[in-house]
Structure 1
Amino acid sequence: MPSIHPLAVACACALGLLLFGLGTAVSLARIRSQRLIGVSDDPDAWLNRLVRAHGNTAEYAPMLALLCLALGMLAPSTPALVAMVLATLARVLFAVGMLTATTLSRPNPIRFAGALGTYVAGVALVVLLALAV
């Protein structure tokens, strides 16, 4: 079995925990609100924010985890390790921004920083992986 850098594994695990933690929170919120499918008409309702935070995480976390693990098998450089950590922190920051915002209809600096960090670190991971092979 190939050796994988422990930081790459830690980032992949953190992304997985974020995804499944948000999924569990959505399920619990659905049980509490007795809404088994769909969301309410209020875009700022707690369930709606949870569903969007989970959905957005599901869009990015798997690819970021895959990039982390792929780079982690290739004796990652310091910039690669930094990009892994930044990508993971950006996803957490984005979720925090979604869940702490009073409304999703206006810009939120935490959510923006998480989104921007995801794009920058994600592109960096792709480029670093392409250069590593």
Structure 2
Amino acid sequence: MTTAIVCSAVLAASIFVLGFNVSMNRGYAAKRGGSQMPTDPADRLLIAQRAHGNATEYVPTLIALFLLVGWLSPTPWAQVLIVLATASRLLHAISMLRSETLASENAPRMTGAMGTYAFGLALAVTAGVAGVAAV
């Protein structure tokens, strides 16, 4: 359960760090007279907003899965899935923030996205199987 709690805390903290980054970029945009609602995929504010938005789309569900799986099935395999899902989310966020533009893909960003899907689905299946086995 410790792995599930630590990884949940890391992902929860990432939401706040990414949100703070959006606030900083809003301030920078305001100082230079830029838009607060950018549409240019190379705009730093848009990149920050999408990195934060994307994290908020997946992190809450992952945290719920981490805690369920950590409670119902704290096996080494489940702990590996939790760590890999956490690493995937962090890789995705960092890759987005380091991108010059959101208009083009890059390998780390795609790896983070695909890892989120694969490990998230594996955790969901693990939670379901563990839940059925607990009955």
Normalised by the length of structure 1, the TM-score is 0.91
Percent sequence identity is 40
Write out aligned runs for 1:27-106 (5 A). 27-34=23-30, 38-106=36-104
Query: Structure 1: any 5+ residue segments left out of the alignment?
Result: none
Counterpart CA distance in 2 for 1:41 and 1:67 is 33
Which residue number in structure 2 is paired with residue 11 of structure 1?
Answer: 7
Q: Deviations over 1:67-113 (max 9, x none)?
A: 00111112411111111001100000001110111121112111100
Aligned residue identity for 2:85: A
Offset of residue 36 of structure 1: 9.8
Counterpart CA distance in 2 for 1:86 and 1:71 is 14
Q: Deviations over 1:26-53 (max 9, x none)?
A: 0121122217984224221111100000
**Matched residue count:** 129
Q: Residues 85 and 119 of structure 2 are in contact (CA less than 8 Å); yes or no, is this contact kept in structure 1?
A: yes
Query: Structure 2: any 5+ residue segments left out of the alignment?
Result: none
SS at match of 1:73: helix
From the two aligned structures, give the one with the greater helix fraction.
2
